[in-house]
Structure 1
Amino acid sequence: MKTPRTRRLRREFAGAPAPSQTAARRRRQAGFTLIEVVIASALGLMVMGALTSVVLTTVLSDNIASARVEASAQVRNLQSTAYDDFVHARAPVPSGCGTSGNPCTTQDLVLQGSRMPNDIGGVAAPDTVRYTWDPSLQVVTRYAGISSRVAASNVTAYSWYIDGSGAYPSLVISMTVTIPSYNATYSQSQTLRFYPRITATPSP
């Protein structure tokens, strides 16, 4: 008659594991249940979604900040360039436009004046500078003689007029700079006022 002790001794002699060891080994080798897999996947998707949102928000904020800096730089570039030209020029006399109710847009802004050479005893020479806005290229170009250079780029709106309400006429330029960036577009509108320093009308 086989007793439990006899069966245990036979298993130990044959090298077979005990039932408790076999059950423990099976529990260790068992995989995840379906519910555990679903919960882990849901948590992983939530974490990945949160990280993606943070990354996209950071990139978008950085692009908008860069676009704001670029737009301000274009406005300052035109302002600093035109300021020096207005110092040596008279107020322009536009034809067919140039009032607050009918500002000029694509018409050339022509500044006529005089400049002193750097030579000792030099004589002031006539000087003409003009600014032109190209709506298709979205650039404002400065022309002086045979040379030219871009005074501002990404200019999507541009107009100017003469304000004669003060003691001396001033020129008002309104412009909008639009900088496209990833998934966003930043626009900055600015109104600049310049005061020509030469007030006398040239003799015929």
Structure 2
Amino acid sequence: MKKKLLIILPAFIICFVLIVSQAKEPISKSIQRAYSDANFDIDVDQILQKFKKTLVSNQVLTKEELNSTTAIYDKLSAIEESVNPLDLGIQGVIDKNPFEEFISNIDILSLNEASQVNIALFTYYQLFSSNFSKFELILTEKRLLEFKGDNVPINSLEAVLFEEIERLAYRNVTTKNTRIVIKAEPGTPNEFVTFILKQLAQMGLSGFTFGR
């Protein structure tokens, strides 16, 4: 019995030490490890430091608001759809999957305030980065299709979109993370909208939203 205790006790101590050390690990390191496990190389500490400075210098947030998760969510959600990632020093799309998986396995409210702030900031950094892969299509009442201010023949839509995705590959834009935003003029026939949606689905571009 004593021999078993001698074997179990050190193992228990090691496990306890590992749990405590992980609990004390900065949240940025935990996020970075999640991305490393997914073979996505980013420096989360550097990202957060630069992002904070840029948000303050661009007058998006004040230094005081950088310490408030409420202010971060309120101010950054207001500019999410319109912000140009480059204006905030973001150079390419950050894959959302490792971060979402990481978040799903932790209790955010149990974390200290600094960790919650960093999670809020990285959340919006990732969301803003996805604007690189957001393409807007305008459908008109005359059954015309507009992309980046130009009329696009329907039979050329696939070529135009894939050419744009390929052009932005250096910013980590792919067919898998592309998000198509479709805006239709009020008088646009429903069957035309349905047709375009089917065309996009056939291209494998299923991540689209629609509104009038």
Output the TM-score relative to the length of structure 2. 0.28
TM-score of the two chains, using structure 1 as the length reference:
0.29
Higher relative contact order (CA 8 A, sep 6+): 1
Instruction: Tell which structure's C-alpha radius of gyration is larger.
Output: 1
When you count strand as a share of all residues, which structure comes out higher? Answer: 1
